[in-house]
Structures are given as C-alpha cells and as structure tokens.
Chains A and B, each alone.
Chain A
Amino acid sequence: MTHPRADLTALLDGALPPDRAEELRRHLAGCPDCAAEERRLRGALSLLGALPPAPEPSPFFATRLEARLREEREKRVGFFARLVAARWKLAVPAAALAAAALVTTAVLRHAHARELAVAEQLELLEDYEAVASLGDVDSPEDAMVVAQLDDLERAEGTP
C-alpha cells in the first residue's frame, strides 16, 4: 500500500481536486499511521493559527515613509538636473574638440595640396633633365613639349 503523505497538507488546505480528496479520506479511514500524521499536521496548523497577530505599525510609520518618498522625489529631480548641467558642461569641451578637428583637417589638406604641387614640379624637372641631357631643349616650344611630355606619351600609346 502506498501512503499518500505528500498530499496530506494539500488535503488540509482544501487544495486537492474533489476526487483526489475523497480518495485520501477513504485511505485515512483505513490507515492509522496516515490518520495520525494527518492529526499531527492539523495540530501544527492550529498552533500556527493561534499565534498572536503581528504588532500594529508605529504611529511614525507613515511619517517616516513620507520622508523617504520625498528623498526619492528629490533624487529623481536631482538626476534630471545633473543630466541638464552635465549637458552644458560637456558642450564646451565637445565644441573645442570639433574645432580642433576642423583645423587639423584643413591644415592636413593644405599640406597635402602643397606636396602634390611639389611632386608635379619634381616630375617636370625630371622630364626637363631627361630631355636636356639629350641637348634638344633649345626653344620655348621645346620647353612646352617637355612640360606636356606625359600627355604626349599617353596620346602616342593610344591606338
């Protein structure tokens, strides 16, 4: 025979389906051990139910809570105020950073443009030197040809 001890508390609490409760009651009627356990549990429930009620809240309970809630509200307001203040505090360094970035970009672009110009002049100089070494640059026309030597080479390479 299996003893349904695990269901005894639920039986006392009225938490079993009716058919299961009826089954247990029939078992208890014929099983002295389970009936004794059921009485023991019932006794414990009676004792727990006989405990004096919890004490009433003190007269200052509501006042103290109100003070804590006031702190909560101030914290909320404080948080938003700090957020706004922080926004202005951060605005100055952020603007300075952006300006610095703009200046750096402009300087770099200018330097890059100068380097490109120098590079072009260097190429031209190299072309002059190459052609002059042949002794063929005698006139301004020759100099023009040298200046446009790259373009002429590309044009000649085109079918």
Chain B
Amino acid sequence: MAPDPDAALMVAYQQGDERAFRSLFERNARAMVSFCHHFVRDAARAEELAQDVFVKLYRAKDRYRATARFSTFLYRIASNHCLNELRRGEYAARPVGLAGEQDGPPDPDALPSGAATPEEAARGKALEGAVRDLLSRLPEKQRAALVLCRFEGLSYEEIAQVLDTTIPAVKSLVHRATVAAAEALAPFQPAVKEVLS
C-alpha cells in the first residue's frame, strides 16, 4: 500500500503534535465540507457538520489505528455524524428549496461553474433540487453509499469499510440508489441524450 501522509499526520497528532492536526485539517477541510454538502445540500449546514467532524476527529485520536487508511477513518466519522444528524429529522422537515439555496430566477453573478447561460444555470438548479429531493427520500444507508460512491469516488471495498458492511451489501445499496436516481432524474434524461449525442 502506498504511504498515507494523512495517516502519518494522525499518528504525529496522537503523539501530541497539534500542528499535525492543523495540517490534517488543511488537507481535508474542503473535502469534508463537500462531503457534508452532498448529504444535506445546504452550504451553511454543511460547514457546521464538517466542523463537528473535525472536532470529533480531534477527540478520537486514541481510537485511530495506523493500519487503517486515514480517509476511511475520517469518512466513517463523517458518515456516522451526518446520518445521526439526518435521523434527528431536522432536514427531513425542511421543504426542498429552503435548505440554504433560494428559489426564483438564478442570479447571473452566481451561475454554477460550467453554466454558460441563465437557462443552463436554471436547469442546473432544478437538477440540484431533484437530487436534493432524491437524497432526502433515500433510506440512510443507500444515501450514504450513493454519496460515497458517486460524489466521493470511493470504491465498493472502501465504502464497505466506512459503512462497516460487506462488499455485496454495498453493491446492492449502490445499485438500488442508482435505480432510484434514474427514476428521480428521468425528466432530465433528454438533456443527457443531447450531450451524449
């Protein structure tokens, strides 16, 4: 296995080096905010959750074993925390469109990257809304598997380690979540056909 620089930093932090923790944060902060955002689709809440994750990591230094990949350890903390927050029902109660982003015509100064026109921006926004709606309906394990696989790019084996389950179980979770995504995003499929053609 290739050397894991984050694992080395975590070990240094275990031995009392607080600067190593600071480096871990700098290297992983953006990825954690992104991961939490995929869970809650709410920028402000994603930052709060990511902060919680780093505080939990700060407290959990004695639980880390250097034999495990650091990213697996971190994603495990993050997944558990996000799922616990979702279980509390705060997000389930939020209607789509009130979860941080405003509805209405897109602000031209805030076009998503890659959106050349307001129409594309509007379509991107609608797609985001559909994905947010999909994620809020998925059972929690499917949701976690979908986020880890589709947005974080983890392999089935890594997802199994993060979710503490088997590879066949991950295969099933990812498949069912992808089928649900295909159904939820069916109205956007013609756009894909255009792109593919």
Contacts and interface: CB of A to CB of B under 8 A. Distances in A.
A45 B153 CA distance: 12
Contact of A47 (B33, B155, B179, B188): B188
A43 B182 contact: yes
A78 to B, nearest CB: 15
Nearest to A72: B58
Nearest to A48: B150
A141 B189 CA distance: 127
A10 B171 contact: yes
A47 B189 contact: yes
A28 B101 CA distance: 41
A144 interface: no
Nearest to A56: B30
- The secondary structure that dominates the B interface is helix
A64 B181 contact: no
Interface residues of A, number: 32
Interface residues of B, number: 48
21 contacts: A9-B174, A10-B156, A10-B174, A13-B174, A43-B185, A46-B192, A46-B195, A47-B185, A49-B150, A51-B124, A52-B112, A52-B114, A53-B113, A57-B47, A58-B47, A61-B47, A61-B51, A64-B51, A65-B29, A65-B51, A65-B55
Interface of A: 6-10, 13, 15, 40-41, 43-58, 61-62, 64-65, 68-69, 72
Interface of B: 21, 25-26, 29-30, 33-34, 37-38, 43, 46-47, 50-51, 54-55, 58-59, 112-115, 124, 127-128, 131, 149-151, 155-156, 171-172, 174-175, 178-179, 181-182, 185-186, 188-189, 191-193, 195-196
Given A43-B182, A51-B127, 12 more contacts: A6-B171, A13-B174, A44-B182, A45-B178, A46-B195, A47-B192, A51-B151, A52-B112, A52-B115, A52-B124, A61-B51, A65-B29
